[in-house]
Amino acid sequence: MNPALILILGGARSGKSRFAERLASHYAGTEPVLYIATAQPSDPEMISRIERHQAERPAHWQTIECPRLLCSVTEEPLAPVILLDCLSVLVANWLLAGGDFENIRWSEADEAALLREVESLIDASAAAHTHLLIVSNEVGMGVVPPYPLGRLYRDVLGRLHQSIAERAERVYLLVAGLPVEIKSLAHLPFTFQ
């Protein structure tokens, strides 16, 4: 089976992580999956959410906590399957890294650095002949956010999605737990029920 770059989009609670984990398990078989977690334990609810996700993952999967710098992952030997969950949190972490939510300073150079960070993971995965599954929230289907930070977030994430989707062999949009194939150079390797 040829390695693939797969982008999995969906709204909150659409089932995208569950779908991505199932796909990763299929591709990995008994081999480990490298799970790149981007969430940060910022409050009790998020800590509980992270712990629940960790407990649900297979014990033989390797988890790397990577809230911002994906290039550190590429310095390690890569597993046959890499699952990045999720890109939308990674982008938020980049935007909010300065801690001043009212006066976000973001430039084209910042966006280029973020794109390079993601592309370094994509390139390393391709060079290692691994499957790379990237999960992210689709944020461009709702209303225009009424505040500058929301619009900036939506725009940066949307441009990043476009860049990844262009390179991806497959793109799925999850709706109510069901995958809708947006782009495919292959077929889904299992039935989804």
Q: Is 65 annotated as a binding residue?
A: yes
Helix %, strand %, coil % for the chain, to 5? 40, 20, 35
The CA distances from residue 137 to 9, 113, 129, 142, 146, in Å, are 5, 21, 26, 12, 19
Q: Is 48 annotated as a binding residue?
A: no
Q: Which two tokens stand for residue 97?
A: 């890294």
Establish whether 13 is an annotated binding residue: yes
Residues 6+ apart with CB under 8 A from 158: 139, 140
DSSP label at residue 91? H
Instruction: Establish whether 14 is an annotated binding residue.
Output: yes
- Does the annotation list 167 as a binding residue? no
* 15 marked as part of a ligand binding site: yes
What token pair was written down for 90?
């990674």
Residue 10, marked binder: yes
Q: Among the options 26, 53, 60, 187, which is catalytic?
A: 53
Q: Is 11 annotated as a binding residue?
A: yes
Q: Which of 128, 134, 139 is nearest to 23 (CA)?
A: 134
Task: Check if 187 is active-site.
Answer: no
Is 16 annotated to bind a ligand? Reply is: yes
Q: Taking a C-beta distance cutoff of 8 angstroms, is the pair 60, 81 a contact? A: no
Binding-site annotation, residues for GTP: 10-17, 37-39, 65, 85
Report the catalytic residues.
53
Binding-site annotation, residues: 10-17, 37-39, 65, 85
